[in-house]
Every structure is written in C-alpha cells, then in structure tokens.
Amino acid sequence: MNDPAQLLSLFLNGALGRSGRKPARKASKFLTGHRGLVTSSAVLAAAGVAWGIYDSLRAGAAGAAGAAGAAGAAGAAGAPAPTGSAASSLAAVPPLPGQAMPAEVLRIVRLAVSAARADGALTEPERALILEQARQAGVEAAAAQELERPHPLADIVRGVTDEDARHDLYVLAFTIVRADEAVTGGERVYLAQLAHQLGIDPATATRLETETATRIDAAAPSTP
C-alpha cells in the first residue's frame, strides 16, 4: 500500500498541477515535499492517516470477499464451510461497497476541488488531470462528485474549531489558488468567503497569505 501522505500528495498535486507552470511545481514542493504542509499540518496529517486506514480496509474487504467466494465454491464441491472463529472473522470484515470515506479525507478533497475551481474557469484538460490523479489516489468518485455538485464552503469547513487546523485549511486553499502566481478577482472573492467561514479575520488572512507566498517562492520546484 502507498504511504498515506503520498496518496494525499498525489491528489493535491493534481489540483495544483492543472496550470502546468513552473510556479505550480514550486507550490507543489511547498505543499507535498519534505516537511511540506501535508506532513507538517495536523489536519492534513490526520486526513492522510485516515486515508491510509480507509485504503487498508478496502483492501482487506476485497481480500475477504475473494476468500469468501473461494470458500463458497469449495463448499459447493463438498468441502466444509468455515465455522467458529473463522466464520466470525469473515463476518466482521466491513463490506466493500458500503464503506464511507473518512470525513477528514472528504474535507480535504472537497476543499482542494473547490479551490481549484474558485474562478469558475476549470477547463476539460484541467478536470481530466484532477480526476486522473484522484483515480490513482483512490478518490476519483469523491472528486468527480465535487466537480459536478460542489458543496458550499460552509459545509466543507463545518465543525473545524481548532485555530491551527483552520489556518492550515486556509493555507491549503490559498496555495492551490495561487499555483500560477496570479490570484484573480473571482479567486479573491473565494478566499474572502473561505476566511469568513473559517472565522479568520482579514489581518490574519493577509499574514497567512504573505507567509505562504514567501515559502512557496523559496521552495525548489518539484521535478515535472
């Protein structure tokens, strides 16, 4: 299984890389590189861990389903069906189709997609790139749903009360918005709305943006 942070980085790089420009690669280095936001942020780290657990459960459920199918075939051929603890173990495996993606992961997916389309100008190639990276990371369905029926920002950030977590989410969105170095008028409106929903005052938002822009500009670009 891939490292949870790598899975999260893969998807976020899809949102960042939609511009295909060098500044976006520098933003990627800041966000997902060594000691980047993914590993240094508590809220993103929690999402990565949850993502890893979810992926493990999916793999376990798929394996158990295959084992159960083989056991059923053997039983039909005359072999005894599993009993006792073996039967209980199979029954305890969460069913694959019904597994819900962790809330921590959904929040990051939804926020990243909303930031990527903040100016309302997501082209088909950009959508395809985001979905391709989401597919490789295992969250294509959630990303596709956000692209088609995005959640309001109020719903995406609802329940986040920790100040550091709120700041990290704002930094994540700002990094994606600023991936090509230009923040459009529509993206500026989006950031203002996000700051309001996160309870971040204008002075703090400006400070976070300034600090983030400085760190992005100082980052060595990731290899294309």
Q: Write out the two tokens for 209.
A: 């943006």
Among the listed residues 105, 10, 107, the one whose alpha carbon sits nearest the alpha carbon of residue 54: 105
Which pTM does this prediction carry? 0.72
Q: Could you read off the pLDDT of 95-150 as tens digits, one per residue?
A: 334 457 788 888 888 998 898 888 876 788 888 888 888 888 888 888 888 888 88
Mean pLDDT score across all residues of the chain = 74
Q: 146 Cβ partners below 8 Å, 6+ apart? A: 109, 110, 113, 114
**In this structure, are residues 211 and 40 in contact, taking their beta carbons and an 8 Å threshold?**
no
Among the listed residues 72, 101, 97, the one whose alpha carbon sits nearest the alpha carbon of residue 8: 101
Q: Could you read off the pLDDT of 81-91 as tens digits, one per residue?
A: 333 332 232 22
Residue ranges of domains in the chain: 4-52+99-218
68 compared with 167, residue with greater pLDDT:
167
Q: Could you read off the pLDDT of 168-207 as tens digits, one per residue?
A: 999 999 988 887 677 889 899 999 999 999 999 999 999 9
Q: Looking at the chain, how many residues does it have?
A: 224
Q: Check: CATH 1.20.1440 for 4-52+99-218?
A: no
Q: Write out the two tokens for 145.
A: 């749903």
Q: What is the pLDDT at residue 60?
A: 64
